[in-house]
Chains A and B, each alone.
Chain A
Amino acid sequence: MRVLSRAELGAWLDALAVEKALLAPTEVESVVLYRPVQSSAEIAPLQGNASRPVLSIKEAFFPPTERLLLIGKTTGPGNGTGGQFRLRETLPEGEQIVFGVRPCDARGMRALDALFLHTQPADPYYARRRENTTLIGLACAEMGPSCFCKSVGGGPDDPADVDLMLTETDKGYVVQTVTEKGRTLLAGLELREIEGEMPRSALNEPVPIPDMLAWPPHFQDAFWEQSSERCLSCRICAYVCPTCRCFAVRDEALPSSQGEECYERIRCWDSCAGDAYRRIAGGHNPRPEKGQRLRNRYFCKFYYYPQQYGPVACTGCGRCIEACPVNIDITEILAHLVTG
């Protein structure tokens, strides 16, 4: 196994932070989030799951708010005819490295890639960021109390979706090169060879996951209405989720310069939990009841999305369980589908 000591890791990250944007788990007023850091000293302590950020790495590829276009409108002479529009695409620039990526977050990229990259036309904003980002993974020594990554095909030490995977041992961090991009990032770094077994992470009790086709027969269950009564229709579950990806687009005004009105087209995170989400022009809303929206959320993750795009839209990270203020628990929902 090839290892890096903690000090060597720190020095390497410091060097990386100079060349590119380094995003790592860091404490922001009592909450751990992935944020740009200037040095490894700013990174939150890495033991256990204490430092898993509240939000996933989705932010690095699909930010909460993103400018898509700048639009300039010049008014023509006379009665508003002859005006011109200038459009400027605002693609993201710069390379970034995300350090401390948990396997569940990395696996979430599969769901996002299925939509943003592999469905035509590919999303150029997401694609640009995906291309310019290297993921340095960090295995979890043990699964957290709400974690069930293993039950949905992932695992706390699964290196499948990162470029490099680090696993902490008492002899240092074991480094696994997973992709060419990872190999490139390691270039010039000296790793020590040591003897030993790759540690495996401690697992939780598995959570039974219903088969995709088990969902449609339960569409009319009273269970959805009952479970949703306490739902506040906030957006926490969608926003903390590594795979939720719905967004709204709007054109908004910017301060204008002489003779030219400026606008920006932005997109930002949205969630199907809100009453207004599915309301369409004319006022009709196919999902006015909370039960319908709750049902939609879980059907989307485990039935609609895999059917249309392939991956299941859940990585078992358990963030929704931890964050929901009224204890709507995805494992309870899944249990209902399994037991019928």
Chain B
Amino acid sequence: MTHAAAIRGKARELLQTGQVECVLGYETGSRGRVRPAFIYRPEEVERLVWNQACTHNLTTYLPAKLRPTKPGQTPRHVAVVVKACDSRAINVLLAENQFTRDQVHVIGVVCDGIVEGAGFERIPESGAAPPPALQRRCQRCDDRVPLVYDTRIGEPPAEHPLAENLPGDAELDRLEAMTPAERAGFWLAQFDRCLRCYACRQACPMCNCPTCLYERDDSLWVGMGIGSSEKRTFHLGRAYHLAGRCIGCDECERVCPMNIPISLLNRKLAKEIELAFGYRAGLAPVPGPLVTVLESGEVKP
């Protein structure tokens, strides 16, 4: 049975038995592009697909979908199709009490990696030659089996890829090798074309503050303008707020209309957090080190 058929079968069952009111999955949209799908009726599950263009992190829709809109409302239940990276987001959201575990039926798919251009270009034909390149985050990925799931689609590979066989993060290495002045120049050039469209923030499951600190009407932390210093403040501040929370799906980078390598900031901080605290976001539904007290024996600076 193909993954797509398995997903449809499970979705149908969950909707028919009323276990969930909605299944968040993927469908083929216009112009052959994959897009998020919200399925409410069993008859509609045929819309669901699974392929290597299923790039979106659907967990970003969970906090809003599961939040009670009126006090005393019965908690809602949904199912969500996730890849391994997306499943890590579920752990972070659970740790932050965005919803309870029983509200989500997680359909975790063992993924083969997502291709470049997913979501924007026509889905490549299977067996197309040459095979389309995988997104860089997928090339770096060391575990394609979801960490959190109620239903698993696909079998884990016989062997996990060895860390030494995976390509490192060449982009990050290049930045780290620069002098501070070169890095400052690099980021200035990148932020120059940023428009503060906030797509990066909106795509991120962990960016779910009701009012973003950097969008306050009183300009308390950053001015409203779309200028260099404001953009720098926004991006660095957002990266900081995601330290220990970002799970590396890199959707922020995919959605950016200006091709700004925004997830470099997140990857750098993820590396720092791992070095300093031995912690990786999303491996378990526990809070990250920046909101907890020092372990005994840890003394900084």
Contacts and interface: CB of A to CB of B under 8 A. Distances in A.
Interface residues of B, number: 41
Nearest to A330: B30
Interface stretch (A23-31, A38-46, A107-115): A23-31
Nearest to B230: A65
B225 A233 contact: no
B203 A234 contact: yes
Given A28-B193, A230-B36, A236-B199, A250 B224 contact: yes
A31 B259 contact: yes
Contact of B259 (A30, A233, A322): A30
Contact of A232 (B120, B195, B255, B258): B255
Interface in A309-340: 321-323, 325-327, 329, 331-332
Interface residues of A, number: 38
A37 interface: no
Contacts of B119: 325-327
A208 to B, nearest CB: 14
B254 interface: yes
Contacts of B197: 234-236, 239
A245 to B, nearest CB: 15
A327 B35 contact: yes
B33 A327 contact: yes
Interface in A73-122: none
A180 B169 CA distance: 56
A198 interface: no
B29 A325 contact: no
Interface of B: 29-31, 33-38, 56, 60-61, 119-120, 189-190, 192-193, 195-199, 201-203, 211, 215, 217, 219, 223-227, 251, 254-255, 257-259
Given A234-B197, A274-B215, A322-B120, 12 more contacts: A55-B195, A146-B31, A234-B202, A235-B195, A235-B196, A235-B198, A239-B197, A250-B224, A323-B257, A325-B255, A327-B119, A332-B30
Interface of A: 28-31, 33, 54-55, 64-65, 145-146, 226, 229-230, 232-236, 239-240, 248, 250, 252, 266, 268-269, 274, 276, 321-323, 325-327, 329, 331-332
